[in-house]
Amino acid sequence: MNMTIPPRKEVITDIKNHGGLVAAVLPIHYSRALLRAFSIYPVEVWGPPKVDVSLGGAHLQAYICSIVHNGLSFLKMGGLNIADLILIPHTCDSLQGLTSVLIDLIQPEQVIIPLYLPRGQREEDVAFLVDEFRSLYTRFSDLTGKHPTSKDLLTAIKREEMSDLLLTKLYKNRQQVGLSNIDFYRLVRSREYLPAEHFSTLAEKTLQAATEPRPGIPIILSGILPEPMEVLTMIDKMSGLIVADDLACCGRRLYAPGTSPDPFRRMAERIVYAPPDPTRGNSIEERLKYLTEMAQNSGAQGVIFYEVKFCEPELFDLPSLRAGLKEQGLASIIIEVDINNSLPRQVATRIGAFLEMLDS
Amino acid sequence: MKIAALGIDVGSTTVKMAGVNASGEMIWNHLEQVAPRVEKQVDSFLNKLKEEINSLAGIPLVATGYGRNLVHQAVKNVTEITCHAKGVYHQLGHGGTLVDIGGQDSKVIVIGAQGQVVDFAMNDKCAAGTGRFLENSAARMQVSIDEMGSVALSATEEVTISSTCTVFAESEIISMVAHGVAVEPILMGLHRSLIKRVVAMVRSVGLVPPLLLSGGVVKNPAIRKVIEEETKEQVFLPEHPQLMGAYGAALLALKVKQK
Ligand code: SF4
């Protein structure tokens, strides 16, 4: 199917031309609705891949992941100059460290706003995030001079919920929409910078196309993000079919619609009760249950843990997760990558061998 | 000689080819050092074979190994993991845990009762735990690669090489030689260092006996002895340990033909 996704640059220029503000947002969880209620448009920064990392390297230890290395390098080379503010969720120690480096040492022109995230799914975690969102509201008000009402906030929330519902629908129908692995993730990842209403239009159009399910060896992709994206073309070529994912930038952000009439609580609940994620403190048992059910529902025969090198939250869980999956009869493999490098041929051999193993 | 199918394994140090008859027995093989222009080398391989058997028409070829994508004559490319498992299982007649130590990588493959790959691990990121580790160290001590196993086994004592990294091991060796340590105990220590690395990989997938070996490096008797000592398992070798990838590829080519 033919699909035109507007490029990131074009979208940002359009936002700016219409008087909107741009927030560069680092991984993983935050509330898009809260930003949009202030006419601030989130554009996410997952790296980006393949930049000159020597600029950021001067401030970071060698064992910090390439998402953070690249993010800082990109900022130092002027890649984030277009942004009016930089929002950094405290996803992990590395991003927390980056916030300190930016605030204390680099002091870029844009205002740096940290977002503290709770590590649990208890009532006090929701309450904590509600407070966080309230203080972000104050900071955004100070920045923009705007004071959106509860009604405004709820409108923004519902727009995002609609977009996320369509995203979830895309996931449910992914085999029927006639997209290859790479095209599916190009579309899904456009949510990282497209305003919700634009993404919804694209998603609706895609969902109208109904084709026969594509054949292939069914697998789950887990990890932070599918970068370099060549990996998806590689999986396509090797007859692998990603039938579900547990990726931080994609499937772990299939936020369910909220129910609370209080906008702050509704935004908080959506994140706290999102699919399990080690960076939000979900236990290995919860992740195992989630992955096993995902495999059962999607028919996946194995899991590729496609990990960013040095990503502590991800890598810590893997030995126990893999052992648990093995007990359930689910094969898995770990591939570690630096998003800055092109894919080494060894990755092709490992993924190829894994798919051959599942197919035999 | 009636070759029914061919397999080629384009490795990092050697190119291997095997031909099987309709029953899957290896009836022809050839091995050469890998040339910089693999495509040309494969062409000349096939031309030589054509001269021997008159025609290659109707004989499918499956390619494996790191240069498998360069073999444009292949009907299919299959990874070396699947091919090694296939070859070894067919030759030994049973599954187990296969350790393949190649020139530039090493792999551990758990082969199930029906010859299927159950799990695998690969060391493909650095030279530690591969043939290159021994090759570099042998060169440093001016011992030929073919002799290093027997020289190591003649040692009456053994020194510990603490570095598994090829570069650091080399400096360690230089320092030992400078301190007058004899070549034999150093070589024995080197073998143990390599095998410890390989055994760690075996443990990561879980050893399912029997322990099977393949790859050019296992022709070295010290490798076999040390791996038995470290795992407390008897090792089994196919007749042509270095050709198992090519043989497995040929068996898969035969399957293609029979389809
Ligand atoms: S890849 Fe891992 S370590 Fe790096 S920013 Fe993301 S969560 Fe943190």
Contacts of B119 in chain A (CB under 8 A): 331, 357
| Residue A56 belongs to a domain | yes
**Is the domain of A220 the same as that of A323?**
yes
Q: Is the complex ipTM higher than 0.85?
A: no
The Cα–Cα gap between B124 and A351 comes to 13
Taking an 8 Å cut-off on Cβ atoms, the answer to whether B79 and A345 are in contact is no
Q: How far is A235 from chain B (nearest CA, A)?
A: 14
> Encoding tokens for residue B198?
């390989």
The Cα–Cα gap between A64 and A221 comes to 23
Which residue among A150, A166, A190 closes a domain?
A: A150
Is B162 in CB contact (< 8 Å) with chain A? no
Report the domain count for chain A: 2
- Give residue B17's pLDDT: 94
Q: A61 or A158, which is more confident? A: A158
Whether B241 and B215 have beta carbons less than 8 Å apart is answered as: yes
**Is the domain of A145 the same as that of A218?**
no
Q: Which residue puts its alpha carbon closest to atom 3 of ligand 1?
A: A311
Q: Where are the alpha helices (DSSP H) in B54-140?
A: 80-92, 131-140
The Cα–Cα gap between B50 and B57 comes to 9
Neighbours of A169 (CB within 10 A): 15
The Cα–Cα gap between A128 and B201 comes to 44
- Give residue A271's pLDDT: 97
> Which CATH number do you get for residue A85?
3.40.50.11890
Strand partners, B86: none
Task: Please report, for residues A114, B30, B68, B87, the alpha-carbon distance to residue B10 in angstroms, rounded to integers and kept in the order given.
Answer: 52, 12, 6, 15
Mutate to test the interface with A, among B79, B81, B201 (most CBs of A within 10 A): B79
Contacts of B79 in chain A (CB under 8 A): 349, 352-353, 356
Q: Which residues have C-beta within 8 Å of that of residue A296, sequence separation ≥ 6?
A: none
Nearest to A349 among B80, B116, B118 (CB): B80
The Cα–Cα gap between A221 and A329 comes to 17
Q: Is the CB of A279 under 6 A from ligand 1?
A: yes
- Give residue B95's pLDDT: 96
| Residue A315 belongs to a domain | yes
Task: Kindly indicate the confidence band of residue B171, based on its pLDDT and cuts at 50, 70 and 90.
Answer: confident
Task: Please report, for residues A65, A324, A333, B88, B152, the alpha-carbon distance to residue A352 in angstroms, rounded to integers and kept in the order given.
Answer: 26, 23, 11, 19, 37
Per-residue pLDDT averaged across A107-133, rounded? 96
- Give residue A234's pLDDT: 94
Neighbours of B116 (CB within 10 A): 17
* CA nearest to B81 within chain A: A353
Q: Is the CB of A65 under 6 A from ligand 1?
A: yes
Whether A40 and A84 have beta carbons less than 8 Å apart is answered as: yes
The half-sphere exposure of B72 on its side-chain side, counting CA atoms within 13 A, is 5
Across all residues in chain B, what is the average pLDDT?
88
Task: Kindly indicate the confidence band of residue B124, based on its pLDDT and cuts at 50, 70 and 90.
Answer: low
Q: Is the CB of A34 under 6 A from ligand 1?
A: no
Q: How far is A282 from chain B (nearest CA, A)?
A: 25
A92 CA closest ligand 1 atom index: 8
Taking an 8 Å cut-off on Cβ atoms, the answer to whether A349 and B124 are in contact is yes
Domain extent at residue B53: 5-86+242-258
| Residue A232 belongs to a domain | yes
How many whole angstroms from A244 Cα to the centroid of ligand 1? 21
- Tally A–B CB contacts below 8 A: 38
**Is the domain of A45 the same as that of A141?**
yes
Pick the range with the lowest mean pLDDT from A179-193, B47-61, B237-251.
Answer: B47-61
> Which CATH number do you get for residue B57?
3.30.420.40
Q: A62 or A219, which is more confident? A: A219
Task: Kindly indicate the confidence band of residue A1, based on its pLDDT and cuts at 50, 70 and 90.
Answer: low
The Cα–Cα gap between B82 and A229 comes to 26
Q: What is the DSSP string of A210-277?
A: --PPPPSEEEEEEES---STHHHHHHHHTTEEEEEEEETTTGGG-PPPP--SSHHHHHHHHHHTSSP-
Across all residues in chain A, what is the average pLDDT?
95
| Residue B75 belongs to a domain | yes
Which residue among A110, A133, A150 closes a domain?
A: A150
The torsion of the CA quartet B129, B131, B132, B137, rounded to 10 degrees, works out to 90
Domain extent at residue A227: 213-359
**Is the domain of A30 the same as that of A123?**
yes
Q: What is the DSSP string of A54-101?
A: HHHHTTS-TTS-HHHHHHHHHHHTTTTTT-SEEEEE--SHHHHHHHHI
A225 CA closest ligand 1 atom index: 1
Q: Is the CB of A72 under 6 A from ligand 1?
A: no
The Cα–Cα gap between B67 and A120 comes to 48
| Residue B165 belongs to a domain | no
The half-sphere exposure of B221 on its side-chain side, counting CA atoms within 13 A, is 7
> Encoding tokens for residue B91?
């030759």
pLDDT digits (tens, 9 = 90+) for B10-30: 988 889 999 999 999 999 999
**Is the domain of A17 the same as that of A145?**
yes
pLDDT digits (tens, 9 = 90+) for A160-177: 999 999 999 999 999 999
| Residue B14 belongs to a domain | yes
- Give residue B182's pLDDT: 86
**Is the domain of A123 the same as that of A246?**
no
Question: What percentage of residues in chain A have a pLDDT greater than 70?
Answer: 99
Task: Kindly indicate the confidence band of residue B164, based on its pLDDT and cuts at 50, 70 and 90.
Answer: low
pLDDT at A357 over 90: yes
> Which CATH number do you get for residue A243?
3.40.50.11900
* CA nearest to B123 within chain A: A346
**Is the domain of A142 the same as that of A261?**
no
| Residue A265 belongs to a domain | yes
Return the SS3 of B9. Answer: strand
| Residue A251 belongs to a domain | yes
- Give residue B178's pLDDT: 76
How many whole angstroms from B113 Cα to the centroid of ligand 1? 41
Task: Please report, for residues A69, A177, B106, B208, the alpha-carbon distance to residue A200 in angstroms, rounded to integers and kept in the order given.
Answer: 32, 15, 48, 51
| Residue A295 belongs to a domain | yes
pLDDT at A358 over 80: yes
Quick one: which H or E segment has residue B228? helix B221-231
Size (chain A), residues: 360
The Cα–Cα gap between B170 and A231 comes to 36
pLDDT digits (tens, 9 = 90+) for A271-303: 999 999 999 999 999 999 999 999 999 999 999
Instruction: Classify strands B211-214 and A240-247 as parallel, antiparallel or unpaired.
Output: unpaired
Q: B127 or A142, which is more confident? A: A142
Task: Please report, for residues A195, B122, B202, the alpha-carbon distance to residue A15 in angstroms, rounded to integers and kept in the order given.
Answer: 9, 48, 55
Q: Is the CB of A224 under 6 A from ligand 1?
A: yes
Q: How far is A352 from chain B (nearest CA, A)?
A: 6
Whether B213 and B241 have beta carbons less than 8 Å apart is answered as: yes
Strand blocks (E) in chain B: 5-10, 14-20, 26-33, 61-64, 76-77, 96-101, 106-111, 117-123, 211-214, 235-236
Instruction: Count Cβ atoms within 10 A of the Cβ of residue A125 and give its class: 0-12 exposed, 13-18 middle, 19 or more buried.
Output: buried
The Cα–Cα gap between B237 and B6 comes to 22
Q: A158 or A344, which is more confident? A: A158
- Give residue A346's pLDDT: 85
The Cα–Cα gap between A39 and A277 comes to 29
| Residue B209 belongs to a domain | no
**Is the domain of A253 the same as that of A137?**
no
- Give residue A214's pLDDT: 84
| Residue B213 belongs to a domain | no
- Give residue B166's pLDDT: 63
Residues 114-153 of B with CB under 8 A from A: 116-120, 122, 124-125
Nearest to B66 among A331, A345, A356 (CB): A345
Report the domain count for chain B: 1
- Given ligand 1 and candidates A277, A314, A337, which is best to mutate, with the most ligand atoms within 8 Å of its CB? A314
Quick one: which H or E segment has residue A337? strand A331-337
Whether B134 and B142 have beta carbons less than 8 Å apart is answered as: no
pLDDT at B7 over 80: yes
| Residue B212 belongs to a domain | no
Task: Kindly indicate the confidence band of residue B163, based on its pLDDT and cuts at 50, 70 and 90.
Answer: low
Cα angle B228, B229, B231 (rounded to 5 degrees) comes to 65
pLDDT at B138 over 80: no
| Residue A185 belongs to a domain | no
Return the SS3 of A6. Answer: coil
**Is the domain of A255 the same as that of A337?**
yes
Residues 198-237 of B with CB under 8 A from A: none
Whether B225 and B150 have beta carbons less than 8 Å apart is answered as: no
Which residue among A150, A172, A200 closes a domain?
A: A150
* CA nearest to B84 within chain A: A353
How many whole angstroms from B202 Cα to the centroid of ligand 1? 30
Task: Kindly indicate the confidence band of residue A98, based on its pLDDT and cuts at 50, 70 and 90.
Answer: very high
Task: Please report, for residues A85, A88, A130, A134, the alpha-carbon distance to residue A42 in angstroms, rounded to integers and kept in the order given.
Answer: 10, 12, 20, 18
Q: B8 or B187, which is more confident? A: B8
Per-residue pLDDT averaged across B104-119, rounded? 92
How many whole angstroms from A307 Cα to the centroid of ligand 1? 10
Under an 8 Å CB criterion, which residues of A touch B?
Answer: 331, 345-346, 349-350, 352-353, 356-357, 360
Q: Is the CB of A94 under 6 A from ligand 1?
A: yes
> Is the link from the previous residue into A228 a cis peptide, with omega within 30 of 0?
yes
- Give residue B55's pLDDT: 87
Per-residue pLDDT averaged across A196-211, rounded? 93
Q: Which residues have C-beta within 8 Å of that of residue B94, sequence separation ≥ 6?
A: B113, B210
Whether B218 and B237 have beta carbons less than 8 Å apart is answered as: yes
Per-residue pLDDT averaged across A199-221, rounded? 92
Contacts of A360 in chain B (CB under 8 A): 82, 116-117
